């Protein structure tokens, strides 16, 4: 009865003042979606407002019980946040912003920062839709950032929220994907071309780098490749670690067949300018509408090297594979020809990570001062629009930092929650401009608590890499710019007497690795002079030297406060204020059970009016 009275009161108010009311319209479309569990019973849709710093989720679960969605970390579910909701048998809803005190115990937050937008239940699904700020002022809420986010989903078969490990799922997702593929043009004259190996017998070795050389599409005039995606054989998906396509200089003499990329025949390692790349967890990627990979002109590469990294850890016999990259190209030309610049630590054993490290930083420096000389022509400003981060299993975080005239300019991209199983090309929210003379520093953080011996840089998945690929325009001839520390200096700082680099690498095995020696090694690697190796598409190589500069971390930013929020000391000036959503769990007041419906139908202003009316004793 009370709900009916409230409904008619609000309806009368809305009709009487149409200019101030919120029109009831269709539910906004959420552009992104993902299944969160192996059986496809838990489905997530989401979208976000980058300027308002608010994200909206819709969780649909095959259950008639409670559902929950939140964010967790890599190491423990304790401290995870979880928004919980459901529909009771009598049709009333409950909804609450909570957190995990330990692996199994839920507790309601003191500050309710999730705003309910809808909660329904039908014969098959319970669906909960809510919004929350990227960063609230509640210390129990995890931030939504441009890093990889470990999304936590859970549900039950009844309406008593209780964590059950069989119904709890964690999936790493890049939530803040700036550009959705549906927002980009798909030319009507699109042509598809596959760059692949066929019926390749995967060796029974842990690690195989298979390379072959293939022609790019033969066209009579200039075209642009505007999209690429992996082409994988389903049962071999977990064995293919990464796929890279390298452009070859037109003066190169290339071998035939398929062979080990870095084996006895050095010809199979020719061509070093990456043009597209895919790694574990990645999907298709479409370039922005104003850029593409040029093919069909005398200046464009005619051949590529296809590199496929297989990780056959279980040494399975008799596996045949047909894997590669599918490219989409068009005669409708874009404004800019794009290129890819490879940055980071030069991949060879001077790059090392000690065992038993909670955290260990590696650094790779790039100095652009020689780019123009090596390019053979003036190098216009490099406009970076996308990036791909890459380490192996010990990698935990990466960032790319830009310096100009000795001063830090930007952190161009980073991922403080890097996940080996989610390596995908990502768009920048802006175009980063690299000018001649700028320095670029790649920092990688590793953890090796599960290892009892040194980890060296190398091609195997159990070796390590520290790489960042910048997707940029306009194209130049520079393919890579990578650095590594003076290993002789590092060995001396660790108390080892050595006279050359080989002795320096060998001496690392003599070090007793303790937290103190690990810290000393990290400090020495940062202080050591870096050798910078710059390479062009035509395999021209030049070296220079430089020093690692300090990195100033960005401020965490202001939080969005809700009513009753617990403001942290560093958040004295919140970014904004909005009323707290009404919490329905455990409420016995019939009018309060109607509040979410009132807010959905008539807007937050009507809800505020209704609360005042209820409190006055309706």
Q: Residue 485: beta bridge partners?
A: 530
What's the first-to-final CA gap in the chain, in angstroms? 12
| 309 classed as catalytic | no
Active site residue: 390, 403, 418, 446, which one? 390
Distance (Å, rounded) from C-alpha 263 to C-alpha 474? 34
Nearest CA to 534 out of 456, 618, 466, 440 is that of 440
Distance (Å, rounded) from C-alpha 49 to C-alpha 429? 13
Question: Is 525 exposed, middle or buried, given 0-12, 13-18 or 19+ CB atoms closer than 10 A?
Answer: buried
Please, which residues have CB within 8 angstroms of residue 433's CB and are 6 or more apart in sequence?
381, 382, 383, 384
HSE value, Cβ hemisphere, 13 Å, CA-based, for 192: 9
Calculate ∠ Cα 228-229-234, nearest 5°. 160
The 3-state DSSP composition of the chain as helix, strand, coil percent (nearest 5) reads 15, 40, 45
Tokens, residue 391:
């380490």
Nearest CA to 298 out of 213, 221, 193 is that of 221
| 99 classed as catalytic | no
Distance (Å, rounded) from C-alpha 108 to C-alpha 119? 19
Establish whether the linkage from the previous residue to 474 is cis, with ω within 30° of 0: yes
Active site residue: 94, 99, 193, 209, which one? 209
Q: Are 458 and 350 contacting, i.e. CB atoms less than 8 angstroms apart? A: no
- The catalytic residue positions are 209, 390
């Amino acid at each position: 009865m009370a709900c009916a009275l409230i409904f008619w009161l609000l309806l009368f108010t809305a009709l009487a003042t149409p200019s101030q009311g919120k029109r009831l319209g269709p539910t906004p479309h959420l552009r992104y979606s993902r299944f969160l569990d192996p059986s496809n019973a838990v489905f997530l849709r989401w979208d976000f407002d980058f300027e308002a710093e608010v994200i909206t989720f819709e969780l649909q679960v095959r259950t008639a019980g409670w559902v929950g969605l939140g964010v967790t970390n890599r190491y423990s579910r304790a401290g995870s946040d979880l928004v919980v909701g459901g529909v009771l048998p009598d049709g009333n809803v409950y909804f609450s912003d909570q957190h995990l005190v330990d692996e199994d115990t839920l507790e309601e937050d003191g500050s309710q920062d999730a705003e309910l937008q809808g909660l329904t239940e039908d014969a098959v699904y319970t669906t909960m839709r809510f919004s929350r700020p990227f960063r609230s002022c509640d210390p129990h809420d995890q931030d939504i950032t441009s890093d990889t986010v470990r999304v936590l989903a859970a549900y039950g078969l009844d309406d008593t929220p209780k964590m059950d490990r069989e119904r709890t799922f964690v999936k790493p997702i890049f939530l803040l994907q700036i550009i959705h593929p549906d927002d980009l043009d798909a030319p009507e004259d699109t042509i598809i071309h596959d760059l692949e190996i066929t019926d390749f017998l995967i060796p029974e070795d842990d690690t195989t780098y298979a390379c072959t050389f293939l022609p790019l599409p033969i066209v009579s005039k200039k075209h642009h490749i505007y999209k690429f995606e992996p082409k994988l054989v389903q049962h071999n998906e977990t064995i293919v670690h990464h796929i890279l396509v390298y452009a070859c200089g037109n003066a190169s003499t290339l071998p035939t067949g398929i062979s080990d990329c870095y084996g006895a025949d050095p010809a199979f390692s020719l061509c070093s300018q990456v043009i597209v790349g895919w790694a574990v967890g990645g999907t298709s990627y479409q370039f922005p509408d104003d850029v593409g990979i040029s093919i069909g002109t005398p200046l464009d590469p005619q051949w590529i090297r296809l590199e496929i990294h297989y990780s056959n850890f279980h040494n399975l016999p008799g596996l045949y594979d047909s894997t590669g990259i599918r490219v989409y190209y068009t005669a409708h030309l874009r404004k800019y020809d794009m290129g890819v610049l490879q940055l980071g630590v030069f991949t060879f054993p001077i790059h090392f990570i000690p065992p038993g490290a909670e955290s260990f930083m590696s650094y790779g420096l790039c100095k652009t001062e020689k780019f123009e000389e090596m390019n053979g022509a003036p190098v216009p400003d490099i406009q970076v629009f996308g990036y791909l981060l890459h380490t192996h299993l010990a990698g935990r975080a990466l960032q790319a930092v830009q310096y100009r005239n000795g001063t830090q300019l930007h952190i161009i991209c980073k991922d403080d929650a890097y996940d080996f199983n989610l390596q995908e090309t990502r768009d920048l929210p802006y175009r980063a401009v690299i000018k001649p003379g700028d320095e670029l520093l790649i920092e990688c953080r590793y953890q090796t608590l599960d290892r009892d011996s040194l980890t060296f840089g190398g091609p195997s998945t159990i070796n390590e890499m520290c790489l960042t690929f910048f997707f940029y325009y306009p194209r130049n001839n520079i393919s890579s710019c990578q650095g590594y520390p003076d290993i002789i200096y590092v060995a001396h700082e660790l108390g080892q007497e050595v006279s050359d680099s080989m002795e320096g690498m060998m001496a690392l095995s003599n070090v007793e690795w303790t937290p103190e020696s690990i810290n000393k090694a990290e400090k020495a690697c940062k202080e050591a002079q870096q050798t910078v190796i710059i390479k062009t598409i035509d395999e021209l190589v030049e070296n220079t030297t430089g020093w690692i500069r300090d990195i100033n971390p960005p401020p965490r930013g202001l939080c969005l406060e809700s009513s009753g929020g617990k403001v942290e000391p560093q958040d004295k000036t919140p970014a904004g204020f909005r009323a707290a959503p009404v919490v329905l769990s455990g409420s016995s007041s019939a009018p309060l059970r109607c509040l979410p419906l009132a807010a959905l139908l008539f807007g937050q202003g009507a809800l505020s009016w209704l609360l005042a009316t209820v409190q006055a004793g309706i």
